[in-house]
């Protein structure tokens, strides 16, 4: 695949990003495009490695190794190298319904398990992926393709995030009449309101795909919460032949320490969602970080997005508290290829903060102990302490405060980005669905059927907080099993 000696002749290159101090002045996507000839050169680096791990999509040491949707990566890399872009798009769409999303926001476990990456920098798989789909849109190759035959079966998809969209797309391909219910005012779930516009443009990318899905026959019903008085779950079950629940894991992890009820302390998704809504409707109804010292508690993509959003508001400072230690610069001995490399990374938000304030905003091995308020009941400071990880009497690693490392940090806005505990329970309970010990909907992987016949569950509401690409994987799988339930067999992959 590619040029047999390409990996020896060409070095890894990725497109440049807009300068950090320029891009924090707007909400436009910050990635620039790479010239076609350079993309073909990067495709040439995908050697004929014999046993490619990049599309394996397995879990190693609890982490994704290879592409969870099993993208045919060596094939479309080779086609790009040979300037066969239309054929490359065909191969890409065989496994991935939404490469314009994964090519922008996926952390690329495929690159972490690239065979070349075991000895040299990996092939630039993610950038080639998004370039293929965008070329498809530019050339007019990506068009609505409604099914030729309808089955007469009706399926409800509850939740329009990544898992819901992929389930809906596949079920529609099978010929079923699909209605997607979303409680927000616009479809997309996490893709619409959980990821900031500078990472994933809402009008130009997300709504572009939603309009295409509508043209293919999928119905989106927004501002509708299933399980409440307005639309009881019993009504949904009576009106549809099957239901796929894809509500995500939206219950945030809280930090119940002294002062938690002070004004100015918000969950990260509150902050990010309100900001995107304000951008889309042109209002000023959002939680502003302008002129404030902002402390983000938690790392990961959500913490980074809070940093980037705060900078665009014009914050006075941004500090990100991480209770875990800094990752090593190179793979540790217990983290061999093709596992996901647990190495230190500087994402866009940290890069921007360093350019603005002169240093990476992350403070490691540190936790908040209490919030301090002013006379008006608003947060004015966060008390922190450094921690050391050690085993308790049960042999579990836990963080222990280090005496003498206490610090008071000024803060007029605190954002909690510590992950999610699972799906919100009222909807789950309204259907009478069984739950696993972590409060997720109980349904076996690759089967997706719940304890209620005809109701399936997929994505984060089933597996817990995970990657967008795993949600796409599960949505496709749940669609296949739902189709099998309705028709007796399924030709969906």
Nearest to 260 by CA among 365, 363, 383, 387: 383
**Contact criterion met (CB below 8 Å) for 294 and 318:** yes
Domain ranges, ordered by start, for the chain: 6-139, 154-250+421-487, 254-418
> pLDDT, tens digit, for every residue of 474-491?
999 999 999 999 999 999
| Intrachain domains 6-139 and 254-418 with the same fold | no
Q: What is the CATH number of domain 154-250+421-487?
A: 3.50.50.60
Residue 54 burial (CB count, 10 A): 30
Which alpha helices (H) appear in 106-140, and where do they start and end?
109-112, 125-139
At residue 48, does pLDDT exceed 90?
no
Could you tell me which of 329, 319, 311 has the C-alpha nearest to residue 294? 319
- Report which DSSP code applies to 116: G
pTM over 0.85: yes
pLDDT digits (tens, 9 = 90+) for 205-214: 999 999 999 9
CATH class of 254-418: alpha beta
Closest C-alpha to 176, from 493, 489, 479: 479
- Is residue 1 pLDDT above 70, yes or no? no
| Cα 53–chain centre separation | 22
Q: CA-to-CA distance for 314 and 311, rounded, in angstroms?
A: 5
Please name the residue ranges forming H helices in 290-432.
Answer: 300-313, 348-357, 425-431
Q: Are 212 and 204 in contact (CB under 8 A)?
A: no
433-472 pLDDT, tens per residue? 999 999 999 999 999 999 999 999 999 999 999 999 999 9
Domain 6-139 sits in CATH 1.10.1060.10: yes
* Rg, Å, the chain Cα set: 23
């Amino acid at each position: 695949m590619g040029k047999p000696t390409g990996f020896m002749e060409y070095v890894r290159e990725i497109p440049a990003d807009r300068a950090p101090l320029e891009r924090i002045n707007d909400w436009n996507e910050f990635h620039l495009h790479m010239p076609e000839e350079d993309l073909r050169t990067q495709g040439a680096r995908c050697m004929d490695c014999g046993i490619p791990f990049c599309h394996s999509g397995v879990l190693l040491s609890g982490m994704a190794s290879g592409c969870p949707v099993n993208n045919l990566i060596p094939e479309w890399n080779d086609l790009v190298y040979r300037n066969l872009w239309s054929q490359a798009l065909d191969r890409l769409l065989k496994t991935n319904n939404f490469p314009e999303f994964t090519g922008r926001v996926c952390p690329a476990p495929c690159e972490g398990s690239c065979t070349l990456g075991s000895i040299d920098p990996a092939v630039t798989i993610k950038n080639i992926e998004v370039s293929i789909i965008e070329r498809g849109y530019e050339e007019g190759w990506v068009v609505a393709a409604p099914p030729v035959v309808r089955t007469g079966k009706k399926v409800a998809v509850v939740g329009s995030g990544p898992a819901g969209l992929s389930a809906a797309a596949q079920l529609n391909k099978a010929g079923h009449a699909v209605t997607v219910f979303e409680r927000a005012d616009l479809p997309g779930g996490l893709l619409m309101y959980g990821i900031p516009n500078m990472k994933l443009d809402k009008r130009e990318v997300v709504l572009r795909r939603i309009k295409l899905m509508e043209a293919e026959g999928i119905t989106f019903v927004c501002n509708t919460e299933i399980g409440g008085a307005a639309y009881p779950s019993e009504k949904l079950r009576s009106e549809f032949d099957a239901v796929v629940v894809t509500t995500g894991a939206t219950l945030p992890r809280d930090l119940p320490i002294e002062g938690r009820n002070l004004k100015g302390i918000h969950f990260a998704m509150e902050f990010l969602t309100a900001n995107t809504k304000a951008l889309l409707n042109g209002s000023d109804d959002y939680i502003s970080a302008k002129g404030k010292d902002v402390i983000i508690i938690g790392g990961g993509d959500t913490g980074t997005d809070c940093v980037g959003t705060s900078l665009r508001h014009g914050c006075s400072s941004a500090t990100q508290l991480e209770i875990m230690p800094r990752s090593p610069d190179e793979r540790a001995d217990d983290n061999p290829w093709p596992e996901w490399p647990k190495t230190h990374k500087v994402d866009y938000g940290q890069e921007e903060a360093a350019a603005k304030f002169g240093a990476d905003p992350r403070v490691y091995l540190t936790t908040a102990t209490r919030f301090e308020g002013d006379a008006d009941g608003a947060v004015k400071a966060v008390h922190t302490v450094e921690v050391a990880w050690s085993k308790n009497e049960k042999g579990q690693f836990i963080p222990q405060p280090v005496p003498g490392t206490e610090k008071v940090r000024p803060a007029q806005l605190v954002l909690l980005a510590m992950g999610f505990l699972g799906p919100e329970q009222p909807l789950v309970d309204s259907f009478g669905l069984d739950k696993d010990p972590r409060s997720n909907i109980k349904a076996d992987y690759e089967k997706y059927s719940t304890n209620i016949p005809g109701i399936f569950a997929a994505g984060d509401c089933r597996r817990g907080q995970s990657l967008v690409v795993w949600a796409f994987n599960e949505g496709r799988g749940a669609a296949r099993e739902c189709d099998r339930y309705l028709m007796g067999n399924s030709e969906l992959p």
